[in-house]
Structure 1
Amino acid sequence: MLYQNLARPVLFRIGRGDAEKAHDTTLRWLTRLSNQRQARNALIKVNQLSAPVTVCGIPFPNPIGLAAGMDKNGLAVGAWPALGFGFAEIGTVTAQPQPGNPQPRMFRMPRSEGIVNRMGFNNDGAQALAARLTAAPAINCPLGISIGKSKAVPLEGAIEDYLQSMRFLYPFADYIAINVSSPNTPGLRQLQDAGALRALLGALRQEGVRLAAGRQPRPVLVKIAPDLTEPAMAQLLEVCLETGVAGVIATNTTLGRDGVDPSEDAIAAEPGGMSGKPLTQVSREIVRFVHRETNGNLPIIGSGGVMTADDAQAMFDAGASLVQVYSGLIYNGPGMVRRSVRRYRSAARRGPQGSRTPQNS
């Protein structure tokens, strides 16, 4: 209530007409928190609820995480567990630093609880992120790093571009997310095609073994688009299983515009990917499809349209092992993270028979 009645109105006024301003303001506040050890640790004790789970060999203090996109440059890595998150995924970062697309490039739809963005992987580059993480405070939760293709690199050079990012960031990541599904880098989604994806994942796996130097390689997960047809998604999952991918993240933002309040059609018409509440049902059904198609053998991080604790639990019920939040944090504040962990713990105590998705309640 404090967030919705006080903090959110202030942030939305700051970002009126340009949501990126509010995003940058929030990130500056959280960066300060990240750098204040005593305040950070005190908040971790209060906000991070225990619901331990192990996924892909990684122990997570709880299964609710921050999605990529919020902290592209790893500025506030120490703050995310202080808000209650059990893990955080930073990025997407590219091998080459790049400014991203022209501003404005992020738009809120408050009535729809949606966001349209065409950020275009704006980031300082993999080498700069590695330097920042070297000097960063203790993170106190698992860290995923999302890597993507530099815009200036043609598709035929994509493999080496991803490998460069992996080499810089491998020592800092508990897992590495491969972003081949953003709609905001021209041609990127072509890397979801079976042949291109098989070559990319094969090269990344080989490099991961080399970088691990005899230890267990870092898990690699693939982030998939919500706009794939079921046959295309089934083919993508087959490649993931063939190449030993540790799991998938479902899903990225969508090019679709279903579920938008008609009063916000003009905002929805902005080019870019849409996230938030309009994506809730779509992402959940894709998680359910992935779980069914892989017989539950491929761990899933459910992401997209997780706005409430019930949405998070519905993702778990659909087959997700972990859940990520982005738009839900913006619209409902960090309290929804704690509520989601409590909802998960309550469902776990009841067991499978007590866990229900909202639409079946």
Structure 2
Amino acid sequence: MGLRSHKQMGRDAQKDAQRQSEARQTEAQQADDASPAAEVQRFVQSTDEMSAVLTQFRNRRDYDKKLGHLADSFERVLDDETLPKAQRIIQVAKMHGVSAEELLRQARALFPDASDLVLVLRELLRRRQLDEVVRKRLQALLTQVEEEAEPKQLKAGINCALKARLFGKALDLSPGLLRASYRQFLESDAAEADVYADWVASYGLRRRAAVLDFIEGALLADIDAQDPSCSRLEFGLLLGRLTQLKLLRSADSQFVGRLLADPLARRFNPDEGGWLLLMLGLLQQPEQVDALLADTVGAEALLSRHAEHSSLLQLVYQACKALSPRLFLDESWQPALLEALRDMAAVAYRHELAERRRES
């Protein structure tokens, strides 16, 4: 493929952006509001910086053209210094008598992530101007890197890269970190509540919903890729986990929102993260409800009246009752949790009555 003109590349980029926009609009009209495609589109459309990101991509293509290095861009390479590092690989490959081992060592030092290195080598090999000796060395290097890389991780890293770059820009996050989270999602057998808690710990409370949007978008891109990372069966299981995580995200919004909307609950604990941890803990260890509540309300409970304890337990009971049984590791755990909360509320109510009698 030859180098395209600056104007032609700009027109192609504009056409690509227009086609993507029209495709997203069509999908949004046809898909159900709760479908993965619809939610991903809503996120993309709600992000004002996406157009700026596309402009940045076009500028990067112009930069490549001016340097005369590549016919295609390095958009899927998640490295901020891709071009000079790619030049360095070519320089090493041109060295007289350089061994395959030395070329591999230096290439991996420049691009430690196998997905990045494979993408760079593929782009370099598209160049017509390469010396035949250099071409053979780069082809042998590419073959070795592909053979030694873990296939699923390699393909997943390539297929999710554009999503990682777009969401990383919009969320002010490292694209490489997002890519790592997607790879981990593919391999993880942890409970969905643990996966969700890990995302909160890694990315913070404010971004927890958007990170799930990224995972969803990356999974859909991987499924549609020419060389997907997983089998159809594996993707089916992953889509099931994704559905469970989206259900958990909705429960998070409702559970935490319900409690923080109540002045009494806010007085006991105004921290959003505290109530989220309570919910995640109850989903996995409902038998520890007493200890989990104590961790959530802490010292404030010691200074409160029994009437307030009783009211708080009623609030928590209603919030837990609204949770979907599917979110618990065992669906039978929810009735047991609700019964335990009723017992605790009954004890608190008896103390409340005694408190009233003493005060009357």
TM-score normalized by structure 1? 0.22
Radius of gyration: which is bigger? 2
More helix by share: 2
Higher strand share: 1
